[in-house]
């Protein structure tokens, strides 16, 4: 059950906030914002890398929640995961609409950059405040090959579909699918106790 990622009480509380929001209770939206805005803002910022655009998309996400809280479906994950998915999708839409992705230059892969661990490992302050769960995720990510991490980075944080990834990395589509499946399978195994 995906709910296991977050403590049960927290999930229940989020679900009840969404119910209150669907009854137009703005104090519930304010509370939900306080709980999740930092993570959502960080995800959007990671994708768009521009403060103003990030603030704009974050606002869009919560306006969307305000208008469509009743669309939340527990089957698709806990409210935190649902919000994160909306934030990621909105940011990727913005990325595409604004033509941020100048494929020839900006998205060219940096042969030496490790997208997932660079921030944490190069910044001692950030490292120091990582929770044990974050540490475990970063450790799990280190068990992936550079090729696998690149695919995850480009898919999740840059919005590439599998066929776009195949074009970009000049790989057969089947190879992209296999690598992505293997990478996710490794992560599922390594992080299973958070997911169980």
Partner 1 sequence: MIPEKEQFEELCSAYALGALEEEERSLFEEGLKNGGDEYRKIFEESVGVSYLLNTSVKKVAPSPLVKARLLKKIHKKDKQSFSFPLSFEQIALSLGFGNPRYGFIISLLMLIVVAEIGTYAYLMYEDAEQRENQLAAYETKLMDQQRRFVALQTELQQKEAILNVLQSPKIEMVLMSGQQVNPAGYGKIIWDPARKVAVLHVSKLPAVPSDKDYQLWYLDKNKKPVSAGVFAVTAGDENYFKVSEVPLPDSKKDISAFAITIESKGGVPQPTGAMYLLGTPNVN
Binding site for partner 1 (CB under 8 A): 1-2, 4-5, 24, 26, 29-30, 33-34, 37-39, 41-43, 45-46, 54-55, 58-59, 62-63, 66-67, 76-77, 80-81, 84-85, 88-89, 92, 116-117, 119-120, 123, 126, 131, 133-134, 137-138, 141, 152, 155-156, 159-163, 165, 177-178, 180-181, 183-185, 187-188, 191-192, 194-195
The 3-state DSSP class for residue 105 equals coil
Q: How far apart are CA 192 and CA 162, in angstroms?
A: 25
Q: How far is CA 107 from the centre of its chain?
A: 18
* Minimum CB distance to partner 1, residue 59 (Å): 5
Six-digit token pair at 179?
């690598």
Inter-residue long-range contacts of 15-24, CB under 8 Å, 24+ positions, other chains counted: 15/72, 15/74, 15/79, 17/79, 18/65, 18/69, 18/72, 18/79, 19/69, 21/65, 21/66, 21/69, 22/69, 22/70
- Closest CB to partner 1 among residues 10, 156: 156
* Minimum CB distance to partner 1, residue 135 (Å): 10
- Closest CB to partner 1 among residues 17, 141: 141
- Closest CB to partner 1 among residues 85, 98: 85
The 3-state DSSP class for residue 65 equals helix
* Minimum CB distance to partner 1, residue 99 (Å): 19
Of 22, 14, 13, the C-alpha closest to 67 is: 22
- Closest CB to partner 1 among residues 13, 175: 175
């Amino acid at each position: 059950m995906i709910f296991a990622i977050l403590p049960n009480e927290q999930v229940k509380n989020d679900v009840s906030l969404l119910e209150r929001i669907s009854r137009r209770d703005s104090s519930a939206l304010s509370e939900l914002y306080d709980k999740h805005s930092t993570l959502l803002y960080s995800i959007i910022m990671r994708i768009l890398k521009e403060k103003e655009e990030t603030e704009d998309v974050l606002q869009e996400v919560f306006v969307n929640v305000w208008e469509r809280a009743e669309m939340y479906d527990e089957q698709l994950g806990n409210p935190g995961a649902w919000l994160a998915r909306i934030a990621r999708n909105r940011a990727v839409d913005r990325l595409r609409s604004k033509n941020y992705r100048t494929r020839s230059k900006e998205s060219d892969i940096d042969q030496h950059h490790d997208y997932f661990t660079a921030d944490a490992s190069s910044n001692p302050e950030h490292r120091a405040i990582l929770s044990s769960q974050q540490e475990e995720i970063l450790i799990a990510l280190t068990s992936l090959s550079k090729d696998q991490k690149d695919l995850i980075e480009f898919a999740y944080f840059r919005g590439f579909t599998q066929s776009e990834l195949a074009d970009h990395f000049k790989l057969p589509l089947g190879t992209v699918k296999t690598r992505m499946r293997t990478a996710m399978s490794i992560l599922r195994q390594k992080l299973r106790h958070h997911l169980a």
